[in-house]
């Protein structure tokens, strides 16, 4: 049975429709992603799952319960890692875990043990007595994740878990989250990082303007909405536009950007050889595997979203 | 912590795992429904710990300064009795109540606003089984403890100054706490509605708390003021609390209907404020 079932889920704020009739299911133990640009409705969906945002219409079941009717019970089983850290900066790292655990009504004896275990898990044991204000961004994020695990949640909701972190910190976090998934925790992750979605998610939905525009595993989305490989060629800004015609003859789908042309192909090396053979030698070229980013940009467009 | 085997047979090699002991989430939810407000108040107690020293210094320093200045200093030149007693006996209950109410006013403004805006305490707590209403109740519980302690310290110190005629003045402690709560909960309800930091709390401090302190019969009976200014006392929890405290302390005699008014005003402010705060917290957090 699915641990989360959303059907026609809709949320409007006045005239603005944040979430516009989305439906999805999350299976137990699955790592499920909500992918979309800023303002697509990801965080609102997360808040509705926890029952802290009331839906306008549609139905939602979390662990078989309606979070609006059974908010406390649903949230007792959830771990939440919000987009913006809400740690208490004045409290020590370890006390943050204990106080948060008290909100769940967990006993002190359990919490003192659990806090040490979670600090270890978050690789923060030596920071246990530091005030949170003294921790780095990556450490705070890890502490927030540790805090979300204090009640042994069945589902962990992560809203943009690695936004603002440097590459090292992101990789440590992914590693931690992967361990949790191995332990059978259901993960629901929102992100606008494609590499994150590819690393963490078994299955994902791409949301844009509050609606689902695609759904599937990272691999199947790449297969359906992109090609196996992508060739990026640069001819210099003066020649770039002029090369559109010749390039179009070489690939079923191309994309002309101000500084380069992208050609979608099954075999990138062969295509690049063909470009060179025809005498269109680019200044620089790159053959790469297609990524979720290509899918994402195709589905949600390249226009800047503010 | 030592490495533990993960469920399903895989073995942890490079990182410790989180243990899952089979917590019954339904039990947690049930417990929180009932005791969430108490669970929440533990936050304020933990947050208070680093400041315990300075809080204590304020709680002890305030009464010493006030009792010395008003009781001994001003009191020494106020020759005739007020309300039939010496000035120190008259002013001490008022000082105790107004000190406690001022503390309540402070804690009902910035810390509450900060919980939404800066520390984001309520947003963190919102992801747990706690309901917004319970956070408001928990804040009230935490401030109650603080006010009781502060009032008790004031009362104990008062003995050193000879401020109390007898043991019945101990009733000043719960009376002052109730007056403080009557100030705290309405302010808390208001603070939860503010989205941006502005001058509102400075106005509260300067236009509400300060005039109350001066015109709520703390230093002289309200009856000596012109009628046009007496209303400040009537709408002020400080005055109602002070009058009750005087009755307990040196037996100020008030007609029964007025005693009832004092009590009803304080309880209505307190309970009404708490009810309003439950609503403003919920409106702020559940959108």
Both tokens of A225, joined, read: 């909405």
- B83 in a domain, yes or no? yes
Tokens of A259: 């500084």
Whether residue B30 lies inside any domain: the answer is yes
Give the distance from residue B246's alpha carbon to the nearest chain A alpha carbon, in angstroms: 40
Degrees to nearest 5, angle at CA A123 with A120 and A124? 85
Q: Which of A99, A157, A171, A187 to mutate to test the interface with B (most CBs of B within 10 A)?
A: A99
Looking at residue B2, its pLDDT comes to: 39
CB contacts < 8 A (A, B): 138
- Buried-state track A185-224, b at ≥16 Cβ within 10 A, e below 16: bbbbbbbbbbebbbbbbebbbbbbbbbbbbbbebeebbee
Range of the domain at B105: 25-285
**Domains (range + CATH), chain A:** 4-77+153-216 (3.40.50.300), 88-142 (no CATH), 224-300 (3.30.70)
How close, in Å, is residue B38 to chain A by CA atoms? 9
d(CA A289, CA B25) in angstroms, rounded, equals 44
Instruction: Name the residue with tokens 């590693």.
Output: A175
Nearest to A183 among B20, B33, B123 (CB): B20
B10 assigned to some structural domain:
no
Note whether residue B192 is domain-resident. Answer: yes
A8 φ/ψ sector (left φ>0, alpha ψ -120 to 50, else beta): left
Q: Do the domain assignments include residue B12?
A: no
Please give the Cα distance from B248 to B164 (Å, whole number).
10
CB spacing of B128 vs A117 below 8 angstroms: no
Q: What percentage of chain B reaches a pLDDT higher than 90? A: 61
Per-residue pLDDT of chain A (306 residues; tens, 9 = 90+): 899 999 999 999 999 999 999 999 999 999 999 998 888 899 999 999 999 999 999 999 999 999 999 999 999 999 999 988 899 998 999 999 999 999 999 999 999 999 999 999 999 999 999 999 999 988 999 999 999 999 999 999 999 998 878 888 888 888 889 989 999 999 999 988 888 888 899 999 999 989 999 999 988 988 888 888 999 999 988 888 889 899 999 988 898 888 899 999 999 999 999 999 999 999 999 999 888 888 888 888 766 554
Q: For position A302, what pLDDT does the model report?
A: 66
CA–CA distance, A218 with A199 (Å, rounded to integer): 9
Contact yes or no for B8 and A99 at CB 8 A: no
Which of B5, B29, B45 is best to mutate for the A interface (most A CBs within 10 A)? Answer: B29
* Residue ranges in chain A assigned as alpha helix (H): 42-49, 71-76, 93-103, 108-121, 137-148, 167-182, 194-200, 218-225, 237-240, 244-248, 268-277, 292-300
Candidates A67, A72, A106, A125, partner chain B, best to mutate (most B CBs within 10 A) = A72
Question: Which pLDDT band, with edges at 50, 70 and 90, does B13 fall under?
Answer: very low
Q: How far apart are CA A271 and CA A254, in angstroms?
A: 12
| Residue B90 belongs to some domain of the structure | yes
pLDDT in tens, B71-83: 788 888 887 888 8
Residue B66 lies in a domain: yes
Q: Give a yes or no: residue B95 inside a domain.
A: yes
pLDDT score of A292: 83
Neighbours of B40 (CB within 10 A): 28
Which residues of chain A make contact with B7, given a CB cutoff of 8 A? 183-184
Q: What is the ipTM of this complex?
A: 0.86
Mean pLDDT lowest among A53-67, B8-22, B86-100, B202-216: B8-22
Give CA–CA dist A132/A143, Å, rounded: 9
Q: What is the mean pLDDT of chain B?
A: 89
Name the residue among A77, A87, A118 with its Cβ closest to that of B25: A77
Q: Does B9 touch chain A (CB under 8 A)?
A: no
What does the alpha-carbon distance between residue B254 and residue B169 come to, in Å, rounded to a whole number?
A: 16
Instruction: With CA atoms as reference, report the closest residue to A93 among A64, A126, A63, A68.
Output: A126
Q: Report the domain count for chain B.
A: 1
CA-wise closest residue to B98 among B19, B267, B211, B12: B211
B128 touches chain A (CB under 8 A): yes
B15/A89 touch (CB, cutoff 8 Å), yes or no: no
pLDDT digits (tens, 9 = 90+) for B189-242: 999 999 988 788 988 888 888 888 888 888 889 888 888 888 888 989 999 999
Alpha helices by DSSP H, listed for A204-283, are 218-225, 237-240, 244-248, 268-277
- Please tell me the distance from the alpha carbon of residue B107 to that of residue B187, in angstroms, as a whole number: 9
Q: What is the mean pLDDT of residues B55-81?
A: 85
Q: Token pair for residue B28?
A: 């947690």
């Amino acid at each position: 049975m699915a641990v989360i079932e959303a059907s026609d889920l809709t949320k409007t704020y006045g005239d603005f429709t944040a979430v516009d009739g989305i439906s999805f299911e999350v299976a137990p133990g699955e790592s499920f992603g909500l992918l979309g640009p800023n303002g697509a409705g990801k965080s609102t969906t997360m808040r509705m799952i926890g029952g802290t945002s009331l839906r306008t219409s549609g139905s939602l079941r979390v662990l078989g319960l309606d979070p609006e009717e059974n908010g406390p019970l649903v949230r007792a089983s959830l771990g939440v890692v919000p987009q913006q850290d809400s740690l208490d900066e004045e409290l020590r790292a370890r006390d943050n875990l204990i106080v948060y655990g008290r909100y769940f009504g967990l006993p002190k004896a359990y919490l003192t043990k659990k806090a040490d275990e979670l600090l270890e898990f978050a690789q923060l044991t030596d920071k246990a007595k530091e005030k949170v204000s003294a921790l780095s961004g990556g450490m705070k994020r890890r502490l927030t994740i540790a805090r979300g695990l204090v009640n042994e949640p069945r589902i962990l909701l992560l809203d943009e878990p690695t936004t603002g972190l440097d590459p090292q910190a992101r990789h440590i976090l992914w590693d931690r989250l992967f361990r949790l998934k191995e332990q059978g925790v259901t993960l629901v992750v929102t992100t606008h990082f494609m590499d994150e979605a590819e690393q963490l998610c078994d299955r994902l939905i791409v949301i844009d303007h509050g609606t689902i525009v695609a759904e599937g595993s990272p691999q199947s989305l790449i297969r359906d909405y992109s090609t196996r490989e992508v060739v990026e060629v640069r001819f210099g800004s003066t020649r770039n536009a002029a090369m559109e015609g010749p390039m179009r003859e070489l690939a079923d789908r191309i994309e002309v950007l101000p500084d380069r042309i992208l050609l979608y192909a099954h075999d990138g090396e062969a295509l690049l050889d063909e470009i060179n053979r025809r005498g269109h030698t680019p200044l620089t070229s790159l053959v790469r595997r297609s990524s979720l980013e290509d899918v994402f940009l195709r589905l949600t467009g390249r226009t800047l979203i503010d | 912590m030592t490495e533990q085997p993960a469920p399903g047979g895989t073995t942890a090699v490079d990182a410790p795992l989180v243990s899952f002991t089979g917590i019954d989430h339904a039990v947690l939810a049930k417990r929180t429904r009932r005791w969430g407000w108490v669970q929440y108040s533990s936050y304020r107690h933990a947050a208070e710990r680093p400041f315990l020293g300075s809080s204590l210094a304020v709680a002890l320093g305030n009464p010493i300064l006030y009792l010395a200045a008003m009781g001994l200093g001003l009191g020494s030149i106020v020759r005739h009795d007020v309300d039939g007693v010496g000035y120190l006996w008259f002013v001490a209950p008022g000082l105790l109540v107004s000190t406690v109410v001022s503390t309540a006013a402070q804690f009902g403004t910035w810390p509450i606003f900060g919980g939404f805006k800066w520390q984001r305490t309520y947003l963190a707590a919102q992801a747990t089984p706690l309901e917004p209403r319970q956070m408001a109740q928990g804040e009230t519980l935490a401030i109650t403890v603080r006010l009781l302690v502060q009032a008790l310290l004031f009362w104990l110190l008062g003995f050193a100054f000879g401020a109390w005629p007898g043991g019945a003045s101990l009733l000043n402690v719960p009376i002052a706490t109730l007056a403080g709560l009557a100030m705290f909960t309405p302010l808390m309800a208001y603070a939860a509605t503010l989205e941006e930091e502005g001058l509102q709390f400075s106005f509260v401090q300067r236009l509400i708390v300060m005039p109350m302190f001066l015109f709520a019969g703390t230093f002289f009976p309200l009856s000596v003021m012109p009628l046009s200014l007496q209303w400040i006392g009537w709408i002020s929890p400080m005055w109602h609390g002070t009058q009750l405290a005087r009755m307990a302390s040196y037996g100020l005699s008030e007609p029964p209907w007025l005693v009832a008014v004092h009590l009803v005003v304080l309880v209505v402010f307190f309970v009404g404020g708490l009810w309003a705060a439950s609503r403003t917290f919920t409106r702020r957090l559940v959108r």
